[in-house]
Structure 1
Amino acid sequence: MESKSENTGIWKYGEKWTEELLLLKTIVDKTELTETTKWGGPVYVYNKKNVVGLGGFKDYFAIWFFNGVFLKDDKKKLINAQEEVTKSLRQWRFTSKEEVNEKEILEYIAEAIENEKQGKIIKPSKKETIVSELLEKEMNQNPALKEAFQKFSPYKQYEFLEYIESAKQEKTKISRIEKVVPMILASVGLNDKYR
């Protein structure tokens, strides 16, 4: 969801749009969604999954679709409020009750519910691959180390590589390698002691 400061903004102007938000509510109430309250405002869920939310902002009131990125949006109503940040959330903004078209809104919500039923969600982006030349060198000199390292799951390999390569200085990387080599040889994952 958005940052904390933005969340408070969603409901800060709710009073300004009381009638308008009630109108949107009566429309959403005609669907199979269940109303809950999250982040201080109404959020409508299907099978406990957030589908749409309502809110009043300074200059507009809006309905937003949590997985709006999957909507066809034939009527070109939806916007991404934060291009760089928001992957799937889309807003439909209104500045007056006259702009609210119940039939269109219900079509969008029906599509959003259908997408939810089909399980359409954005998968978290894959982590970048990390290469540690120093560890590679170490493994080339020590076949047992290489073999032990390859037995770890990709996730655990990633943890080791990230730990080594997140060090700024070469000498720190070397000291980290010295620390993890015995762990790798003993088949102990970097964070196993915390699991």
Structure 2
Amino acid sequence: MESSKTDTRIWDKINGWSEELELLKSIVAQTELIETTKWGGCVYVLDNKNVIGIGGFKNYFTIWFFNGVFLKDEKKVLVNAQEGVTKSLRQWRFTSKDDVNESLVLEYIQEAIENEKQGKIIKPTKAELTIEMPEIFQKELDVNPNLADAFLKFSPYKQKEFLEYIVEAKREETKRSRLEKIKPMILENIGLNDKYR
């Protein structure tokens, strides 16, 4: 996600869209989807799979379709929030309750549910381990075989998360403190972002 300078993408947790979001919720309530909260927002699932979400941003409120790329979108209402970055997610943005055509929104949601039932999803591509091993971390692995063994048990994706965490630090002392923070996590087989998953 781009920086908060891009006003239209700022997630507005205390927003002025409560009435409008209630309208969207009342439409979704007519379906078999189950409401849950993920990433601080309202997400609707089918068999524990994310189908749609709703939320308010600074300049609009929206319904997003996690696999919206598969929707026919005959009315051309869907947008890709991050062109070139987002592969499957599509948003339908509204600026007032008058923009919400209940039967049309319901039609799109039903199509999204049907697509989910048919298993229409874009499988995420496995991230290559393209990040270079930080010297500070390699030295630690060389002197601590238990740490090295534990690190190798992680998937390439989780290994990459640990490496990026160290590499992204600008100062050497920050790199060292981050290394000290992740060592116990690695030894206990806890991924860097496991608590958020």
- Taking structure 2 as the reference length, the TM-score comes to 0.61
Q: Which has the higher helix share?
A: 1
What's the counterpart of residue 123 of structure 1?
A: 123
Matching of residues 55-66 of structure 1 within 5 Å: 55-66=55-66
Aligned to 1:133: none
What do residues 100-147 of structure 1 show as CA deviations (whole Å, max 9, x unaligned)? 00100011000000010011111234778xxxxxxxxxxxxxxxxxxx
Aligned partner letter, 2:28: V
In 2, Cα distance between equivalents of 1:33 and 1:69: 19
Distance (Å, rounded) in 2 between the aligned partners of 1:76 and 1:114: 19
**Counterpart for residue 53 of structure 1:** 53
CA distance in 2, matches of 1:126, 1:21: 35
Task: Count residues with an aligned counterpart.
Answer: 136
Is it true that 1:11 corresponds to 2:19 in the alignment?
A: no
The residue type equivalent to 1:67 in the other structure is N
Structure 1 residues 38 and 74: alpha-carbon distance in aligned structure 2, compared to 1, 3 A threshold: same
The separation in 2 between residues aligned to 1:87 and 1:75, in whole angstroms, is: 20
Find the residue that maps to 1:15 and give its secondary structure.
coil
Distance 1:58 1:122, change over 3 A: same
Cα–Cα, structure 1 residues 38 and 193, in superposed 2: closer, same or farther, change >3 Å?
Answer: closer
Paired with 1:52 and 1:21, the residues of 2 have a C-alpha distance of 13
Shift in Å, 1:40: 1.0
Separation (CA, whole Å) in 2 of partners of 1:45 and 1:4: 28
Alpha-carbon distance change, 98 to 193 in structure 1, aligned in 2, over 3 angstroms: closer
Pairwise CA distance, 1:82:
0.3
Q: Who is 2:181 aligned against?
A: none
Q: For residues 4 and 84 of structure 1, what CA distance do their matches in structure 2 show?
A: 16
In the alignment, structure 1 segments of 5+ residues that lack a partner are: 129-158, 168-190
Contact 1:68 1:88 in 2 (8 A): yes
Percent identical across equivalent pairs?
65
Q: Does 1:106 align with 2:106?
A: yes
**C-alpha deviation, 1:193, in angstroms:** 8.2
Give the corresponding residue for 2:81.
Answer: 81
Q: Could you tell me which residue of structure 1 aligns to residue 35 of structure 2?
A: 35
RMSD: 2.8
Asked if the contact 2:15/2:57 (under 8 Å) is kept, the reply is no
Aligned partners of 2:3, 2:36: CA distance in 1, in Å?
A: 19
State the alpha-carbon separation in 2 of the partners of residues 16 and 116 from structure 1. 31
Structure 2 equivalent of residue 194 of structure 1 = 152
Instruction: Give the residue type in structure 1 aligned to 2:152.
Output: Y
Equivalent runs, 1:169-180 vs 2, <5 Å: none
For residue 65 of structure 1, report the CA deviation from its aligned partner. Answer: 0.3
Listed as ranges, the gaps of 5+ residues in structure 2 are 134-148, 154-197
Distance 1:84 1:99 in 2: 27
